[in-house]
Structure 1
Amino acid sequence: MSGKSASEVPKTLTYLLIAVLVLQLVLIGLVASTTSSLAAIEERLRSVEEGTRTLTAALRDVGKSLETLGANFTARIAAIEERLKPVTPLEFRMAGWWPWPYSGNPYAPGGVGVLYWFGFETFVYFIPGNQTYIPRLAEEWKLEGAKLTVRLRRTSWNDGRPVTADDVVTSVYMAQALWSWPYEIKSATKVDDRTVVIEFEEPPGPALLTSIMTSPFVSFAPYSIYGKWLERAKEVATLGRRIWLMRRAGQTVPEELQKEYDEKFAALRDEVTAFNPLKDLGIVVSNGLYYLASVEYDKMVLKLNRGHWQAASASATTVIIYRWTSNEAVWALLMAGEIDASHPATPKDLTEQILSVGPNMRMQVVSDLAETPAVVFNFRNPLFRDINLRKALILSLDRSKVRDITFWFQPPYEYAHGVLLSFQDVWLSRDLLNRLTKWSYDRARAESVLKAADYTKGPDGIWRTPDGKPVKFTLSAYAPYSDWVLAAKEIARQWKEFGFDVEVTLIPEGMLGPTLSAGQFDATIEFGSAWWGLGHPYAGYSRIYEGWVGTISGIVELGLNTAEYDTPWGKLKPMDLVRALALEKDPAKQKELVEKLAFITNEYLFYLPIVEKGLQIFYSESRWAGWPAPNDPLWTLCPGGIERVYVVLLGSGALKPAGG
């Protein structure tokens, strides 16, 4: 045995048992603690798992949002890149004319030029081809007897001001005061900002009503600019109308009244025509689809009027107009592809050349509703007051040869009755035509007429008047119009050959109006009867007997329009017939009046018509598509203002960029 005593063994065992017990207790506590911790861990794991699921869903939503944001961002970047790309301006290019220096005053000599139709609205456009109206400034209108009520569109001037009845009223009185037209209007009154009432002296016929409704004169004088002259304009217009009414009634105008009118008219005219909007205001205020943005001698730029009612649908934001210095210049622009459309009178060979420049060039031909070339006499020169000389002049002229070098595709004239040849069968009966003198080319007959009137031919081959003076005069033509120049040279050649001493004089660019209105010519190439805007003979006879031709020729000044002339219906005065035609509503009675005017015009030869002008409209489809079909009546709106057709096509959006 070892060296321990028996009593020490139990003590050791006791310590051992105690240690085992303590260890057991520790282990039991440890297990309990571990079990508790494991439960907590398990709970936390469940919480983490739930959080993970929530986070996963949230991340999925974030992913979708990021995907959407990315797509939007990509689209926005693409849009920005598109906007940053170089953009070709939506430009429509053409040729036109304007006075120079340019003022933008419609009442000044030369007016506003090509801005006339682009910049100033009419109440309506009238389409002769289908006898329909296109509403413009007039949203609606109603004629009740002599009272015309017009409701204006909501539209603006290019300076931002709304167009109101005040503007129309001012424009009417300014026209009456400065142009002595339209005196048929008795008054113009504002009802409210968008309603104006125009009262006529008598209920107007279709011709007079249409001439008022289709002229942009109702937009020429915004009240904000011209209102300062309104009261004086009313005074001058009232005096002028009094004189007009007295003369129409065959009354003598008192000298004091005439003097008062002349003085007040001259003072107002001088003050208004001296006004230069472009210089004095820095802007030409207008209410049309396009306004003047800049102008130089050789180029005018128009911009879209954002306040215009068609601004949202307009397909061109800019109109570029190159100066029409001559037909030759326009031919060059067409062949170079620099312009989208134009209408120069063009000989046959050049027509073929222009049409061959590319597959996209087209030509549309319509009547210009006017006669040109025509010879207009200055009756202030006593030479032309002799009807026998006028008869000899037309009989000695082979008009078909003049036609051949100008409007070669049109039929020749036989008469001089003032009704356009294309409408002759509509307005003139066969019975009337049989009564009229045919002025066919016949030099033997011309010589017989002169000899019967005591004209003689001198040893130099020149015809002399009964008092022994040579028949000598000049024939003027506007230099930029090549067709007029060619016509003048051919006419002068023929008359010289017959024995008249005739020389051609060219009127410089920009001087046509001033030269002719001052009476500084003997005879001139001009438009004769012109039915622009109406497609009705009233327009032509009004032009001859009281309008432009009547004014420049001295017909008005010398009272030739109010003189009595022998006719199959007795003695008649041309102006009585013109005024009756303006008011007549019955088609049959209109025709009777037209036949009487046709007889006087043909037999007394107030001018010499050569041919009815055919309008050659060249247009290119290279930059713009959507031109009207060849048989579209819209083409008949071209005569007297082709820019109206461009306004309709561009404003409606019918013309669109090619390939767009």
Structure 2
Amino acid sequence: MLRNRAAIAFVLVLLVVAMALGGCAAATPQTVVQEVTVPVEVTKVVEVTVEVTTVVEKEVVVTPTPAAPADATRLETLNIALSGQVADPTNLNIYAPGVSRSGTGIHQVIYEYFFYQNLQTGEYIPWLAESYEYSEDFTQLSVKLREGVTWSDGEAFTAEDVVFTYDTLLANPGMTWASEVTKWVESVEAVDDYNVTFNLLAPSPRLHLNREAFPAVGIWGGITILPKHVWENEDPLTFKSTDPIGTGAYRLVNATTTSFTFERRDDWWGTTVWDVVPAPRTINFQYVGPETTVALALAANEIDTPFIGILSVGSLQEIMRRNPNVHAWTDEPPYAWLDPCPRPLMVNNAVAPWDQKEARWALSYMIDREAIVALAYEGTTVPAWGIWPNYDGNQPYFDAIADLLEQYPSGTYDPAKGEELLQSIGYTKGDDGMWVSAEGEPLRVRYLVQADSTEEMKVSAVLADQLQTQGIEVELQPLAGGVMSDTILRGEYDIKLHSFCPGYIYENLELFNSKFYVPLGEAAPWYERNSFRYNNPEFSAIVDEMGSTSPDDTETIIAQFHDAMAIWLDELPVVPIVQAPALVPFNTTYWEGWPSATDPWNMPVSWWATFELVLTGYTAPETGEWVGGIHPAGQ
């Protein structure tokens, strides 16, 4: 029944989208029995002619074509569809709790970062900084800033801005990410105008990869350097920064609850340093409405790309059918780019029977991931065996544990094997087909579901049906907001689907570190940061060794990864389900050069700070060649 209801709801959504698109440009036969005047539009340099045609009882099929540009301004404008409105468009303080960074566009086009991490290629790209170097004991990190960088008001970007930003974060624990900075950084000193030294609280050879404590962005956003001359006399928690001053290639010219408009800076420092000018003169981050409205706008060439989570695959297929200039990461299934945060099932390791690895493995064997992909994700993703994205940069690590994956097939559907494991820990099946313990207690699982997440609701419908069919009683608990958060952190659940970020090899393993373990009833540090109560000191010791090893020592880290995964796969503290799909189509009517599966030069994510590189391109660290950057269509 759950599966049927989910399928019916999906069909209804498709019908609404198809009808809306059809109302805009449907290929519908019609009979014309009168003389009609048909204006024929041609290019601007040719005069408009009028053709008079008499048609009697003839079937006419109207083939929809993309609308012509309204004016030349559209040719220079990039329109991005937001997933929601902004409550207070006057508050653009990037460090104030609750203020949207990506939903306004400010961390994409106003602010910039020392380095950018291209997760697609594995590159670490210098930007506001040119280089970094650790001390021999990894307790200091020296950074060389790029000379010639200026703020949008013309002031020079210098080491004083870096020191001021960190002094402010260390002195104001209420600022976003300040708590993470205080874990790692003791102080920051200016050596001169373009050299700074980070004094660290402990050996930290991975600080340059920690976006929450250092201005290097891979996934989403990171620590943002503030202009001292603007912020030094302001309260960092209450200052609204309505007209944000940044080093980025654009400046904000208008902000409302539904739209943020940015104009290109002719004085952007990057033009002087690299002789590059971002192609769009104007960028609009705008909320145009729900899925149907976004679909119509994309089909009509009114927007160029939407944020994640807006369009279903059915809508995308209809849009692509009607507008051949709209493309996805792949133009055939699965369509989606893989987000760096896979979706495993968190399993509470402190609650019986899930505190036994046999029960967790039985759960894994009883889950048909292919069915979840087909029914809940509409074929837009692939099953997962682990907690990392299938990126090329991760492949050497995956290859190194091929022997373990053969021994521990963590993505395999094998109900018979699952039954054997349940029987091995004393469970039997009753006459009604349901599992019971030796004491006669039914095997029951409390399944928390984010009530306002379409993704989680769809997955839960399929997964609950599968487990019920296998004889496990499922108690679905849809929750939201603070109630959901408190329930997860206190460990009052058995299973919960959740994203595991940031997708890096070490960082995702560290989420399972015993140092984050707390007893049931106490609040865990965060959802994926061991709210599932895994506690293995041997595993944690290996992860700690990885954390103290330079990330440049790949050979050692791969060996440590193998040792850690031998324990992780044996115990399976969480159950891998699927890779995370990001359905983010792009329109090539006005702009070309978007990253895609056929040209995967970057991540196609307009809500991350790395989107600036999609706009501008960048210098490849190894070759020195300029890579990418969108450009006007046909050029």
* TM-score for both structures, normalised by structure 2: 0.67
Which runs of structure 2 are paired with 1:17-56 in the superposition (5 Å)? none
- Per-residue deviation, residues 468-497 of structure 1 (Å, max 9, x unmatched): 4762423324635x4444223211222233
Alignment equivalent of 1:155, drawn from 149, 157, 182: 149
Counterpart AA for 1:621: T
Does 2:95 correspond to 1:135?
no
CA separation of 1:367/1:148 partners in 2, compared to 1, >3 Å: closer, same or farther? farther
Counterpart AA for 1:168: V
Counterpart AA for 1:113: R
Query: d(CA) in 2 for partners of 1:136 and 1:642?
Result: 16
Deviation at 1:208, TM superposition (A): 5.0
Deviation at 1:625, TM superposition (A): 3.4
CA separation of 1:443/1:87 partners in 2, compared to 1, >3 Å: closer, same or farther? closer
CA separation of 1:639/1:516 partners in 2, compared to 1, >3 Å: closer, same or farther? farther
Larger radius of gyration: 1
Unmatched runs of 5 consecutive residues or more in structure 2: 1-70, 331-335, 518-522, 619-627
Which runs of structure 2 are paired with 1:212-361 in the superposition (5 Å)? 212=214, 214-215=216-217, 217-224=222-229, 227=232, 275-278=237-240, 282-304=242-264, 308-310=268-270, 313-323=277-287, 330-342=294-306, 344=308, 349-361=314-326
1:314 match: secondary structure: coil
Query: d(CA) in 2 for partners of 1:557 and 1:132?
Result: 32
Matched with 1:95 is: 81
Counterpart AA for 1:127: N
Matched with 2:329 is: 364
- Per-residue deviation, residues 589-616 of structure 1 (Å, max 9, x unmatched): 1111111232233233232222223544
Unmatched runs of 5 consecutive residues or more in structure 1: 1-84, 230-270, 566-570
Query: d(CA) in 2 for partners of 1:162 and 1:513?
Result: 43
Matched with 1:471 is: 444
Aligned Cα root-mean-square deviation (Å): 4.5
In the alignment, is the contact (CA less than 8 A) between 2:442 and 2:473 conserved in 1?
no
Alignment equivalent of 2:610, drawn from 617, 632, 644: 644
Alignment equivalent of 1:408, drawn from 352, 374, 379: 379
Matched with 1:187 is: 187
Query: d(CA) in 2 for partners of 1:513 and 1:306?
Result: 46
Matched with 1:120 is: 111
CA separation of 1:554/1:151 partners in 2, compared to 1, >3 Å: closer, same or farther? closer
Deviation at 1:639, TM superposition (A): 6.6
Query: d(CA) in 2 for partners of 1:511 and 1:290?
Result: 40
In the alignment, is the contact (CA less than 8 A) between 1:118 and 1:289 conserved in 2?
yes
Counterpart AA for 2:527: S
Query: d(CA) in 1 for partners of 2:484 and 2:474?
Result: 23
Matched with 2:591 is: 624
Deviation at 1:401, TM superposition (A): 0.9
Alignment equivalent of 1:505, drawn from 467, 478, 482: 478
Counterpart AA for 2:216: T
Counterpart AA for 1:149: V
2:601 match: secondary structure: helix
Matched with 2:462 is: 490
2:94 match: secondary structure: coil
CA separation of 1:649/1:557 partners in 2, compared to 1, >3 Å: closer, same or farther? closer
- Per-residue deviation, residues 189-210 of structure 1 (Å, max 9, x unmatched): 1223333222446675578547
Identity of aligned residues (%): 19
In the alignment, is the contact (CA less than 8 A) between 1:374 and 1:527 conserved in 2?
yes
CA separation of 1:133/1:425 partners in 2, compared to 1, >3 Å: closer, same or farther? closer
Query: d(CA) in 2 for partners of 1:93 and 1:514?
Result: 38
Aligned length: 516
In the alignment, is the contact (CA less than 8 A) between 1:95 and 1:342 conserved in 2?
yes
Deviation at 1:94, TM superposition (A): 1.4
CA separation of 1:580/1:332 partners in 2, compared to 1, >3 Å: closer, same or farther? farther
2:183 match: secondary structure: coil
Matched with 1:6 is: none
In the alignment, is the contact (CA less than 8 A) between 2:614 and 2:630 conserved in 1?
no
Query: d(CA) in 2 for partners of 1:516 and 1:118?
Result: 35
Query: d(CA) in 1 for partners of 2:123 and 2:196?
Result: 23
Counterpart AA for 1:432: L
Query: d(CA) in 2 for partners of 1:359 and 1:503?
Result: 42
In the alignment, is the contact (CA less than 8 A) between 2:347 and 2:354 conserved in 1?
yes
Query: d(CA) in 2 for partners of 1:511 and 1:641?
Result: 27
Matched with 1:588 is: 555
In the alignment, is the contact (CA less than 8 A) between 1:152 and 1:165 conserved in 2?
no
Does 2:623 correspond to 1:655?
no
* TM-score for both structures, normalised by structure 1: 0.65
Matched with 2:526 is: 552
CA separation of 1:86/1:602 partners in 2, compared to 1, >3 Å: closer, same or farther? closer
Query: d(CA) in 2 for partners of 1:335 and 1:530?
Result: 33
Does 2:344 correspond to 1:374?
yes
In the alignment, is the contact (CA less than 8 A) between 1:123 and 1:136 conserved in 2?
yes
Query: d(CA) in 1 for partners of 2:590 and 2:509?
Result: 41
Query: d(CA) in 1 for partners of 2:370 and 2:436?
Result: 27
Matched with 1:391 is: 361
CA separation of 1:307/1:453 partners in 2, compared to 1, >3 Å: closer, same or farther? farther
Query: d(CA) in 2 for partners of 1:646 and 1:584?
Result: 26
CA separation of 1:474/1:295 partners in 2, compared to 1, >3 Å: closer, same or farther? farther
